[in-house]
Amino acid sequence: MQWSAEDVARATVRRQATGLSAGQVADKVAEAALRERETQRELRSPTRYGEDEPDPFQSDPQKLAEQWAARHAEWQRVAALMAGEGWTVYDPDRDTPGTAWDQDREARRIGALARHTAWRQEQADARDELRTQVWLTADAGRRVREIAARTGLSPEQLLAQLAAHAELRDDGTLAAGPFTPQ
């Protein structure tokens, strides 16, 4: 699952802000604002870097700009929350909106993992399935259709249940013990 820039920013800021004073948070707001401006400027006019000079924007510049814009907004939210509540130090446990977002993100993560696990199980089950076309003699076909009609199953369902009960014995004989088709 991919997180939005806002999700990443909320998690990052909550982690980094823990225990910071209002002044330190203000410094983080200023730093995020600077990084946001730099990444926006890079989007408008990309810098050309030489082979010996690494490109600090080697990743997707659009994505990087979105991440810094989201971090800037989140640092501003934390600063406003601290000022509004009169906190001297940031405590993520007291940050009700941040905690709600964190719990929502965790619920989405757990849901995504459950969906992925179910999908993987479906894929494994599909690999184990066998779809085949069987040509039976007229006599065998009539017997299968007659038994299927009496049990209320389709011929395919009857043959599938028969195969599920079949076993190969040590002497090489194939047998299906008595069973009630369902």
Instruction: 51-56: list long-range contacts, CB under 8 Å, 24+ apart.
Output: none
| pLDDT the model gives residue 58 | 59
pTM of the full structure: 0.60
Whether 53 shows a pLDDT value over 60: the answer reads: no
How would residue 52 be classed by pLDDT, with cut points 50, 70 and 90?
low
Domain count, the chain: 2
32 neighbors 75 (Cβ within 8 angstroms): yes
Query: How confident is the model over 47-72, as a mean pLDDT?
Result: 73
Question: Do both 100 and 161 map to the same domain?
Answer: no
- The SS3 assignment for 17 reads helix
Whether residue 161 is contained in a domain is answered as yes
Domain match, 34 and 101 both: yes
Q: Quick check: is 157 in a domain? A: yes
| Domain ranges, residue 171 | 138-176
Q: Are 81 and 168 part of one and the same domain?
A: no
Asked if the model's pLDDT at residue 54 lies above 70, the reply is no
Do the domain assignments include residue 133?
no
pLDDT tops 70 at residue 50: no
On whether the CB atoms of residues 26 and 90 are closer than 8 A, the answer is no
Domain check: are 37 and 93 in the same one? yes
> Residue 13 is encoded by which pair of tokens?
């800021």
Q: pLDDT tens digits for 107-121? A: 999 999 999 999 999
Q: Are residues 73 and 19 in the same domain?
A: yes
Confidence of residue 94 (pLDDT cuts 50, 70, 90): very high
pLDDT of residue 86: 95
Query: How confident is the model over 149-165, as pLDDT tens digits?
Result: 999 999 999 998 998 89
> Which pLDDT tens digit goes with each residue over 133-153?
889 999 999 999 999 999 999
Predicted pLDDT of residue 18: 94
* Same domain, yes or no: 158 and 80: no
- Examine the domain organization and report whether 112 and 74 are in the same domain: yes
The arithmetic mean of pLDDT across residues 13-37, rounded, is 95
| 51 within a domain of the structure (yes/no) | no
Query: Across the chain, how many H-helices and E-strands are there?
Result: 6, 2
110 with 170, same domain: the answer is no
Residues 120 and 100 in one domain: yes
Q: Are both 17 and 64 inside the same structural domain?
A: yes
